[in-house]
Structure 1
Amino acid sequence: MVSGVKKARARRKVADKLGPEHWVRAGFDALVRGGVEAVRVEPLAAGLGVTKGSFYWHFVDRGDLLRRMLARWEGEGTHQIIERLRGSGAPAREQLTLLMAICRESAHGSLEGAVRAWGATSPEAGEAVARVDRTREGFVEGLLREMGLSAASARHRTRALYLALLGEFARTASGAEPTSPSVWEELLTLLTSR
């Protein structure tokens, strides 16, 4: 009996230290490992070493967790990066160079693919992916326009870069060696030349 009480107290201490961000992170891990169907309350709770009751201190239900995961992916993987680059005051080409480096060095290539796969089966996730794509492409297109490219040229080159980066995420998520920086530099030169 004493042992059970001690275990319950230990679980409660762990649960008290867990915030919603821990659950979201665990949700991302499950999403990458097994898709959106793997994002379930009981297995996440077991992985975090708590009861599923702890989950309900932070979330209304599983749908609430999934919505927060999408919001976090959108915020951290798009808005925060754009804000950081815009706030740098760097010239457009330098911002584009930094953006490409951030994308290539991101450890979230497998997360990117997992969220996109989720978006193919869920209207809500699909809307988030489409919104992220528009935001990201709009930012890059704006940088290329600042460098003097026409609207049509900037739009086409933006799409080419975006497809290259998504391809890189897919390649590296499946274990391939990252593309060398010299290839990316060559691509940047091609994309920004007038």
Structure 2
Amino acid sequence: MENRRARDTLRAEDWAEAALQAIAAEGMRGLSVEPLARTLGVTKGSFYWHFRNRNALLEAALALWERRETDEVLARAAEETDPRKRLARLFREADGSRRAGRLYLTLAGASDQPLIAAVVRRVMERRLEFLQECYRALGATPEQAGARAVLAYSMFLGTLQLRRDAPDVLPQGEGFHEYMHLVGESLIPGYDRELVRRR
């Protein structure tokens, strides 16, 4: 029998969060109502209280992902007035967890689903635009800023791919922080470890 307290306190965002966790762990096949209900300790009735169908849950999960991984990350990076610090903070923020990386790659790989493809494209465009603004603030021409933004984003995607497919290739622990300094030196003109020291 459904836990009444769980049913009464469960929010749509709880379902969206559970959906993101399932997608990160199992790919798009993880977006299945019954297993998610079991994970949350409720029946399918709770799902239909919040959502019309599975697609509505996917929309909510994508909105949550975009807010957390793009809106909030870019807002935190934008707090830095120095464009070098802004870029360094963005790279630290985007480093994220392995789960976040698997989730991004899973969503990016689901380009055959128009809803997902549209959100991933919007996220990519917003991130590239933010990167371009940072490079322009450092004195790059629009063309240079565009090229540097693409290079930075490519390195980000490549790191996610390595973390998923060949995690032993990347250094661990303090070594990973040193690797991120190398990334900074490669991607941020005038990079200085003291100027952009980790928080």
Same fold (TM over 0.5): yes
Is 2:137 the counterpart of 1:146?
yes
The answer to whether the 8 A contact 1:141-1:158 is kept is: yes
Give 1:183's aligned amino acid.
Y
Alpha-carbon distance change, 187 to 34 in structure 1, aligned in 2, over 3 angstroms: closer
Q: Please name the residue that 2:193 is paired with.
A: none
CA RMSD, 1 decimal: 1.8
Q: Please name the residue that 1:76 is paired with.
A: 68
Which whole-Å CA distance do the structure 2 matches of 1:17 and 1:109 have between them? 30
Is 2:157 the counterpart of 1:166?
yes
- What's the TM-score once normalised by structure 1's chain length? 0.87
Q: Please name the residue that 2:34 is paired with.
A: 42
SS in 1 for 2:42: coil
Gaps of at least 5 residues in structure 1 are 1-6
The answer to whether the 8 A contact 2:22-2:31 is kept is: yes
Aligned residues: 184
Which whole-Å CA distance do the structure 2 matches of 1:29 and 1:63 have between them? 16
Q: CA deviation at 1:175?
A: 5.8
Is 2:9 the counterpart of 1:17?
yes
Q: Once the two structures are superposed, what CA deviation does each residue of 1:94-143 show, in whole Å capped at 9, x if it has no partner?
A: 0100111111233411111121122x220110011111000000001100
- What's the TM-score once normalised by structure 2's chain length? 0.85
Q: Once the two structures are superposed, what CA deviation does each residue of 1:21-62 show, in whole Å capped at 9, x if it has no partner?
A: 211111112212222232111111112111100111211211
Larger radius of gyration: 1
The answer to whether the 8 A contact 2:87-2:188 is kept is: no
Q: Once the two structures are superposed, what CA deviation does each residue of 1:59-104 show, in whole Å capped at 9, x if it has no partner?
A: 1211110001111111111011112222x24311101001111112
Q: Please name the residue that 1:67 is paired with.
A: 59
Is 2:111 the counterpart of 1:105?
no
Which whole-Å CA distance do the structure 1 matches of 2:164 and 2:10 have between them? 29
Q: Matches of residues 87-106 of structure 1 in structure 2 within 5 Å?
A: 88-106=79-97
The answer to whether the 8 A contact 1:147-1:192 is kept is: no
